[in-house]
Amino acid sequence: MVSFDNDFRRQLRELFVWRRDVRRFRTEPLPEGTLERLIDIACLSPSVGLSQPWRFVIVEDEARRRAVIDDFKLCNADALKAYSGERAARYATLKLAGLEEAPGHLAVFAEKACETGYGLGRATMPETLDYSVVAAIVSAWLAARADGIGIGWVSILNPLRVREILDVPETWKFIGYLCIGYPEAELDRPELEQADWERRRPSKDVTIRR
């Protein structure tokens, strides 16, 4: 039987506190096998019916990486147009991806046609396949942080375009694009909070009783 002591629990809480969405990376390469190790951990995550619908693409090809960066720029410029006035000015100052600097690019998909798990748990909620993939991403996110490695989730992308750039099957739904590398700085607060965009809400504000 495995057990965890108080010291471990305290450190685990610190891991949650210090996990950050990272957009500012040092360009130094990651040790060989880092992405594969993070994917291994992601594959230990819970999934509906043990369907394991996660699919990973380690994006190494320079032309494909460049195409993703171009798509981000396009989508981010569109996103800016949805704001006006002071919010728009503030949005324009935000750094919302570290695609240029991060040595690791990992695209994560959900296999919507997966037969693993024989449909258990998802008859009324097919979106649980997507949720399972998100759970896998969060596992990798925390595991990376424990090794001093940062992950930045980029969703300011056109999902169909990402599928096209990476030439993956049509049944693969795009879930997230992860920039992975050593962070420039360790932060105990979200960057969006430091930039005065939004603040973290206390749990009592998002909990009700019935």
In the complex, minimum distance from the CB of residue 104 to ligand FNR, in angstroms, rounded to a whole number: 16
Token look-up 């994917």 returns 39
| Residue (23 or 163) nearer to ligand FNR, CB | 23
In the complex, minimum distance from the CB of residue 72 to ligand FNR, in angstroms, rounded to a whole number: 8
State the residue number with the nearest CB to ligand FNR.
Answer: 190
In the complex, minimum distance from the CB of residue 97 to ligand FNR, in angstroms, rounded to a whole number: 6
| Residue (67 or 156) nearer to ligand FNR, CB | 156
Q: Parallel, antiparallel, or unpaired for β 104-111 and 54-58?
A: antiparallel
Per the DSSP assignment, residues forming a β-bridge with 177 are: 107, 154
One-letter identity of residue 53: P
In the complex, minimum distance from the CB of residue 118 to ligand FNR, in angstroms, rounded to a whole number: 28
In the complex, minimum distance from the CB of residue 201 to ligand FNR, in angstroms, rounded to a whole number: 11
| Residue (79 or 120) nearer to ligand FNR, CB | 79
The span from the CA of 182 to the CA of 14, in Å, is 18
| Residue (35 or 179) nearer to ligand FNR, CB | 179
Using CB under 6 A as the criterion, which residues of the chain lie in contact with ligand FNR when the complex forms?
Answer: 20-21, 23, 96-97, 153-156, 190, 192
Structure tokens at 97: 């991806």
Structure tokens at 53: 């619908």
Buried b / exposed e across 167-206, counting CB within 10 Å, b at 16+?
ebeeebbbbbbbbbbbbeeebeeebeeeeeeeeeeeeeee
Residues in the chain: 210
Phi, psi of 94 (to 5 degrees): -75, 145
Cα–Cα separations (whole angstroms), residue 206 to 2, 200, 202: 33, 11, 7
In the complex, minimum distance from the CB of residue 115 to ligand FNR, in angstroms, rounded to a whole number: 26
The span from the CA of 105 to the CA of 103, in Å, is 7
| Residue (39 or 192) nearer to ligand FNR, CB | 192
| Residue (153 or 172) nearer to ligand FNR, CB | 153
